[in-house]
């Protein structure tokens, strides 16, 4: 019998930039996201949706239950999308007027934002646009949008090394990797909300092995039904509500690849500082290209020190 290779369904992402500037850094982030889906995030198809033609929200423009053609076309794009990627600049501690206008038009009956998974990326000076994200999340509650929680993406565009060129294109490789993690998380979250919860990897236990007073090693045990050829490890560390650090690691630098189907042990040596009651979140992005098809699986689990672990995936 011929083997059947499972391929994750294509996820269509509508990408909106809240900045209308020709060389906008936010639009540049979306261009970089589109390039990443073509290079290293298969299964995502991002379409940039230009919101500049939308008129200012005005219910006088609604005639017999219909909207102006440009608004109807925009609403249809949102309706057809599986998920949303917002590039949200911070204007006066909040979201930009063009983005709020787009949110309002698509929320008119029937609300086409409803039940869409979404992610937010922001850049700028100071806090990197982060304050706009909290206002956007607040708006999203009423619109029934479902935002990913991690990783958060804010970027100070003016700190060295150079992040963007004169045309607004993202040129920093470290930032591109951070952006990739957002896309992977949005992909995994969308699949979960769509009911596709099948996973080629299962984590069975997490064991802490203390090395010294400042650092600890961890041993993650699990099993896989796939031939794992590579992947990334994204680590988010918090002390209480404050983020302590974020790090990325190559899976094959931590364990021998490829990993054959069956039980496996993933050692993470001296990667974390061992403070009492520190909360860690580890996301494994597993790649299986044994059939010339990259199948990406995102698994997250949280645990605390003092050898008390709560694992969820």
Going by the DSSP 8-state scheme, the letter that residue 61 receives in this structure is G
- Domain, as residue range, for 174: 11-193
Same domain, 121 and 174: yes
Q: Provide the residue-wise pLDDT of the chain in tens; the chain has 313 residues.
A: 233 334 456 899 999 999 999 999 999 999 999 999 998 888 899 999 999 999 999 999 999 889 999 999 999 999 999 999 999 999 999 999 999 999 999 999 999 999 999 999 999 998 888 999 999 999 999 999 999 988 999 999 999 999 999 999 999 999 999 999 999 999 989 988 887 555 667 777 777 666 555 666 778 887 877 777 777 776 766 665 555 666 777 888 888 888 888 888 888 776 655 555 566 666 676 666 544 334 444 444 454 544 444 444 4
Q: Of 2, 28, 1, whose CA–CA distance to 291 is shortest?
A: 2
Q: With contact defined as beta carbons under 8 Å apart, do 240 and 280 qualify?
A: no
Residue that finishes a domain, picked among 129, 162, 193 = 193
CB atoms within 10 A of CB 293: 13
Q: What does the alpha-carbon distance between residue 295 and residue 41 come to, in Å, rounded to a whole number?
A: 9
How many domains, the chain?
Answer: 2
pTM: 0.66
Same-domain check for residues 253 and 164: no
φ/ψ (deg, to 5) at 7? -120, 130
> 3-state class of 178 per DSSP?
helix
Q: Say if residue 114 is in the same domain as residue 232.
A: no
Residue 2 lies in a domain: no
Q: Domain with 208 in it: what CATH number?
A: 2.60.40.10
Domain final residue pick, 193, 214, 249: 193
**Does residue 25 form part of some domain?**
yes
Let me know whether 171 and 252 are in one domain: no
Domain end, chosen from 139, 163, 193, is at: 193
Q: Is there a single domain that holds both residue 142 and residue 233?
A: no
């Amino acid at each position: 019998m011929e083997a059947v290779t499972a391929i994750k369904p294509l996820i269509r992402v509508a990408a909106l930039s809240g900045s209308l500037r020709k060389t906008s850094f936010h639009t540049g982030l979306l261009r970089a996201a589109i390039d990443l889906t073509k290079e290293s995030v298969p299964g995502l198809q991002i379409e940039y949706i230009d919101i500049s033609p939308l008129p200012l929200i005005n219910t006088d423009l609604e005639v017999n239950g219909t909207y102006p053609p440009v608004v109807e076309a925009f609403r249809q794009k949102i309706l057809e999308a599986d998920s949303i990627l917002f590039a949200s600049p911070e204007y006066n501690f909040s979201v930009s007027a063009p983005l709020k206008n787009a949110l309002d038009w698509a929320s008119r009956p029937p609300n086409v934002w409803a039940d869409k998974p979404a992610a937010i990326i922001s850049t700028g000076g100071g806090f990197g646009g982060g304050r706009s994200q909290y206002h956007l999340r607040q708006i999203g509650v009423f619109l029934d949008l479902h935002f990913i929680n991690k990783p958060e993406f804010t970027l100070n565009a003016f700190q060295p090394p150079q992040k963007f060129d004169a045309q607004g294109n993202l040129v920093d490789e470290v930032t591109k990797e951070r952006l990739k993690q957002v896309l992977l998380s949005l992909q995994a979250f969308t699949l979960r909300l769509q009911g596709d919860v099948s996973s080629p990897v299962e984590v069975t236990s997490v064991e802490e092995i203390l090395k010294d007073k400042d650092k600890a090693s961890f041993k993650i045990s699990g099993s896989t039904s796939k031939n794992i050829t590579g992947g990334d490890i994204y680590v988010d560390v918090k002390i209480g509500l404050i983020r302590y650090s974020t790090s990325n690691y190559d899976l094959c630098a931590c364990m021998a690849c490829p990993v054959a189907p069956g039980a496996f042990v993933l050692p993470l040596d001296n990667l974390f500082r061992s403070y009492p009651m520190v909360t860690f979140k580890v996301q494994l992005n597993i790649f299986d290209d044994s059939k010339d098809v990259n199948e990406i699986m995102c698994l997250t689990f949280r645990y605390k020190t003092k050898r008390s672990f709560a694992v969820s995936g």
